Amino acid sequence: MKFHLDKTLALWADVEVQMAKIHSPNVRRKILLQSVLCEFEEQGLAMRYRRANGTLGWKATPKFSQHLSDAELDATDDLQHADF
């Protein structure tokens, strides 16, 4: 089964899959990815949806998007007040 992820989720899921791969090098990427997606879903970061062609896809939740935009604002703020 192929997973369809939106851009934001694909990026962060890939980061977590790479991390998981370090601890479970012999596990197939598909299993790692579905495990990461289920964890994201349980933490309210990812949600499933029906795509235009009727198949299921995954996307970042509004909560996750909010986390990301807060983090971006924090980073911008840190940069502006950084003492280099």
Q: Interface with another protein by CB under 8 A: which residues?
A: 1, 12, 15-16, 20, 23-24, 27, 31-32, 34-45, 47-52, 54-56, 61-64, 67-68, 71-72, 74-75, 78-79, 82-83
> Minimum distance from CB of 50 to another protein (Å)?
5
DSSP 8-class letter at 4: -
Q: Identify the three-state secondary structure at position 55.
A: coil
> Minimum distance from CB of 6 to another protein (Å)?
14
Taking the C-alpha atoms of residue 13 and residue 26, their distance in angstroms, rounded to an integer, is 18
**Using an 8 Å Cβ cutoff, are 5 and 57 in contact?**
yes
